[in-house]
Amino acid sequence: MKKLMNHSGYLGMPQINSRNKQYVVLLLWALCVSGFILFTPVTARAESAAVGIAKNAKGSLVVVRVDGIEERLRGKGALALFEGDVLRTDDKSVALIELKNGIQVGLNRNTSFKIVSRWEKESGITRILRLKQGMLWVKISGGPQQLEVETPVAIAIVKGTEFIIEGLQNGNSVLTVIEGLVEFGTALGTCPIRTSTVSYAEQGKKCTKPVITDVKTAANWTAELSGTAAASVPDSAVTSLPVFWPPPDASTHQKIPRELLVPNNTQAQTWASVAARLEKALTDNGYSSPGYYAVPEGFALISQLERINRDATPSPPNIRWKIKVDPASIKSFNLESYLKALLGKDEGLFRVIAFVFTPVPIITSGEKIDIEEAKLWVGKGGSKLPKVLSKQIYDEDMEATALIYEFEIPSRREPARLNKPSEHNGQQHLKAANILKALGG
């Protein structure tokens, strides 16, 4: 057996250096969750040594041992945990456990995971939390620890101190880093996710670029368990903006020249001042307040759905913002107009403009958006930039891009469709909407 064991600690595996160890870990994880290999417990007898304790449960924490016996913790206690244990909570329970070396783990409602391990000669034992479903909060004290969290589509290699990872019902995963750094990886590669940002992982895709998020709200559910989680998050980390990334396919797009947004390049501009300039240009042309969203290293403003003419100019004010025709407003009654009004199908062209400010290249998701969802964008967005974002400096590498979504309802008998491409390019849309002129272009 010793002859078969190489320096990596695995049977039959070639020697692994520190440079490619991370990718080997991801490969092993991918094989494991695919069913090709199984981890062997570190100890010959799973319950020979405790790996931690369950300390608190609001409701009930169920611990299923390797022999199938179930134990429960209600309230505060010290229930020993062992290699191979499966822990789960129901829809009314949350719980807190503590692994060795000062690793706290919180289980939110409807959460289930298994405790396993991996041994390597260079680094020793790495504790692995194999998350089946639900949400885990992890906080590490006393420096970096050998800990990983697996989900069906991703793996989080812990290098930071506090984060939350969630396994969604569709199998995808969400990682929110409250403080520190976590390497978030899928079979297609890894992404370093840092303080106050979130990333998503889907089957067959690389994890998304991190975007700023409301980490304080994300950690609130752990406060009553540990007494420290919410207090550890600085107020400056709070944002509360929804995420608009990656954007769905657009009809066309147009970059907005920097000098139109930052007319005096000798003075430093903040994200708030640039957003205010664009918002004024929109207001001057009849738009209501836009919806604010978070994107990687930047933000986005999205206008409400408007009706437009064939030349891309806005329709007259009395019908510009109407998606349905009111039957009482029909001047010359006819059956076709009345039926169209009742069915809510009013043929014509409609437009939504998403203004995206980021230094990151914009690569759309490939998904087609429908008019009903686009109509809700403005209302679902934030009403303004949060303080932590508004003070950010609008650096030279920031670019502003208008993504134009043009929809057409050919007739009341046909569904709305996204015109891709539009008959007008992005510049023509912005000129027709009078936005470039309002900015000084």
Report if residue 367 sits inside a domain: yes
Same domain, 268 and 196: no
Same domain, 180 and 256: no
Same domain, 216 and 263: no
Note the pTM of the prediction, 2 decimals: 0.53
Beta strand 147-150 with 124-140: parallel, antiparallel or unpaired? parallel
Same domain, 164 and 203: yes
- The per-residue pLDDT for 425 is 97
C-beta neighbour count of 91 within 10 angstroms: 7
Same domain, 278 and 425: yes
Kindly report, residue by residue over 152-204, the tens digit of the pLDDT.
888 888 776 889 999 887 778 889 898 888 999 888 888 888 888 888 888 88
Report if residue 14 sits inside a domain: no
Report if residue 99 sits inside a domain: yes
Report if residue 325 sits inside a domain: yes
Report if residue 208 sits inside a domain: yes
Q: Which residues of 103-127 are buried (b: 16+ CB within 10 A; e: fewer)?
A: bbbbbbbebbbbbbbbbbeeeebbb
Q: Which residues of the chain have pLDDT under 70?
A: 1-48, 142-144, 160, 214, 216-219, 224, 226-240, 265-267, 323-346, 412-413
- The per-residue pLDDT for 260 is 94
Same domain, 259 and 233: no
CB-count burial class (<10 Å; 0-12, 13-18, 19+) for 432: middle
Same domain, 174 and 52: yes
**Domain boundary at 207, 237, 267, which?**
237
The residue segments making up the domain with residue 116 are: 21-237
- The per-residue pLDDT for 412 is 67
**Domain boundary at 237, 260, 284, which?**
237
Same domain, 223 and 314: no
Same domain, 195 and 332: no
- The per-residue pLDDT for 359 is 87
- The per-residue pLDDT for 210 is 85
Q: Which two tokens stand for residue 97?
A: 């456990």
Kindly report, residue by residue over 278-299, the tens digit of the pLDDT.
999 999 999 999 999 988 888 9
Same domain, 71 and 213: yes
Number of structural domains found in the chain? 2
CATH number, residue 166: 2.60.120.1440
CA distance 230 to 248: 34
Report if residue 242 sits inside a domain: no
Report if residue 287 sits inside a domain: yes
- The per-residue pLDDT for 229 is 39
Same domain, 36 and 175: yes
CA 308-369-311 angle, to 5 degrees, is: 20
**Domain boundary at 188, 206, 237, which?**
237
Report if residue 190 sits inside a domain: yes
> Which of 222, 233, 371 lies closest to 305 in space, CA to CA?
371
Q: Which two tokens stand for residue 427?
A: 């510049």
Same domain, 96 and 138: yes
